[in-house]
Amino acid sequence: MSVTASGRARRRLSLAGVVFLGALAMTSPTVAHHSYASFDMSKFTEFKATVKSFLWTNPHSLLIVSVTGGDASTDDYHIEMNGPGYLVRNGWKRDSLKPGDKITVTVHPLHDGSPGGDLVKVVFPDGRTLKTDAKPPGLLVPDAPAPQEDQH
């Protein structure tokens, strides 16, 4: 039994379709992973904290800090950040934060009220500030300069 040219073409087209759909299915979880849905991006929460650890990792870096509440209890906050590529473009380095550093942190809080959030900025006691401005368009960052209008 011989296979015609049109039969081979149909099989190649079917195989290409299966490969395309497989590649598309593999990228979907990645897109979903980078969602800001768990954070209330319309709110900012600021608090004083002590750095426990700073994980310089992809796809997201992670800052873990201890925060002492008004009743002297201490909670660990897990604060999500952009990956190292974004952070470097905003002046960050692998050793920007060290265990024991005292900082003031601003985050977009978690919707469920859990101790954590999406990092907006870190301010050191000497006034130095590190920001994570590389966010989706339209999100506000405290103390960000106002957009400049084109004067042409």
pLDDT digits (tens, 9 = 90+) for 16-26: 555 555 554 54
- What pLDDT shows up at residue 103? 98
Share of the chain above pLDDT 70, in %: 64
Residue 151 has pLDDT above 80, yes or no: no
Number of domains forming the structure of the chain: 2
Instruction: State whether 53 and 116 are in the same domain.
Output: yes
Q: Could you tell me the residue range of the domain that residue 79 belongs to?
A: 45-131
pLDDT digits (tens, 9 = 90+) for 61-70: 999 999 998 8
Integer CA distances (angstroms), 58 to 42, 130, 136, in order: 25, 19, 18
- What pLDDT shows up at residue 138? 45
140 lies in some domain: no
Confidence of residue 10 (pLDDT cuts 50, 70, 90): low
C-alpha 67/C-alpha 69 separation (Å) is: 6
pTM of the predicted model over 0.75: no
Token readout for 23 is 């590649």
143 phi-psi bin (left φ>0, alpha ψ -120 to 50, beta other): left
Share of the chain above pLDDT 90, in %: 53
39 lies in some domain: no
Instruction: State whether 57 and 113 are in the same domain.
Output: yes
Instruction: State whether 57 and 91 are in the same domain.
Output: yes
pLDDT digits (tens, 9 = 90+) for 29-62: 444 445 678 899 999 999 999 999 999 999 899 9
Instruction: State whether 26 and 61 are in the same domain.
Output: no
- The mean predicted confidence, pLDDT, of the chain is 79
